[in-house]
Chain A
Amino acid sequence: GAVVSQHPSWVICKSGTSVKIECRSLDFQATTMFWYRQFPKQSLMLMATSNEGSKATYEQGVEKDKFLINHASLTLSTLTVTSAHPEDSSFYICSASRASGQQETQYFGPGTRLLVL
């Protein structure tokens, strides 16, 4: 159990295009999902925390109008990179939180590699 899918795996797009990435928890309900970005040779950096039915909480320095997050159901969160530019090229990965007793574990999707030309 605890599988998270992410779609698409790869996106290559022109500058100015908006790109939507989906994150789904396949076999459990996740009230909280997280979106991370990773630049080459760097750590996973949290962009935002997404709670079902409410507005996402963005980390400092992450533009909410640039990275739109929608968490419409307990199994789906989407990240839309609006008007993408080459500097938005990165690896984007989501995770879904699942509680087991008092512990909470994050289960990750396989990530989406975005290249903006």
Chain B
Amino acid sequence: ILNVEQSPQSLHVQEGDSTNFTCSFPSSNFYALHWYRWETAKSPEALFVMTLNGDEKKKGRISATLNTKEGYSYLYIKGSQPEDSATYLCAFLSGSARQLTFGSGTQLTVLP
């Protein structure tokens, strides 16, 4: 069983604050790390697919980094807005499997 953990479980920040959270995953047999944003009553939305150690990807105010050797990825949100409120999921894809193993998510609430 692959262990994918996210921390913190939930987070409240004020509008305008920057924030970050962590996804840890097995450091062996790495293939890809996916990040999703999941707003209530909507479909999870793919944010990033990260494959290379040291990779950094950016989408607007959201960015993510990847360290495959130590088995972690950070997601950063700069200048949080209320519309960023969602659950952020990471999912690990190993080299030997086609299926994603999900973390339990970080629930972000941005207070106006």
| CB of B96 closer than 8 Å to a CB of A | no
By a CB distance below 8 angstroms, the chain B residues around A36 are 102
By a CB distance below 8 angstroms, the chain A residues around B44 are 93, 108
The answer on a CB contact under 8 Å between B42 and A110 is: yes
Known interface pairs A105-B49, A108-B43, A109-B43; A34-B102 also in contact (CB < 8 Å): no
Q: In the assembly, what is the distance between CA of A106 and CA of B9, in Å? A: 23
The size of the chain A interface, using a CB distance under 8 A, is 22
Q: In terms of DSSP, what is the predominant structure of the interface of chain B?
A: loop
Chain B, Cβ-Cβ closest to A4 = B43
The answer on a CB contact under 8 Å between A44 and B34 is: no
Q: What 0/1 pattern do residues 1 to 16 of A give for CB contact below 8 A with B?
A: 0001000000000000
**Which residues of A does B touch, CB under 8 Å?**
4, 32, 34, 36, 41-46, 49, 59, 93, 103-111
**Which residues of B does A touch, CB under 8 Å?**
4, 32, 34, 36, 41-46, 49, 51, 89, 98-105
What are 17 A-to-B residue pairs whose CB atoms are below 8 Å? Answer: A34-B99, A43-B4, A43-B103, A43-B105, A44-B89, A46-B99, A46-B101, A103-B49, A105-B34, A105-B46, A105-B49, A106-B34, A107-B43, A108-B43, A108-B44, A110-B41, A110-B42
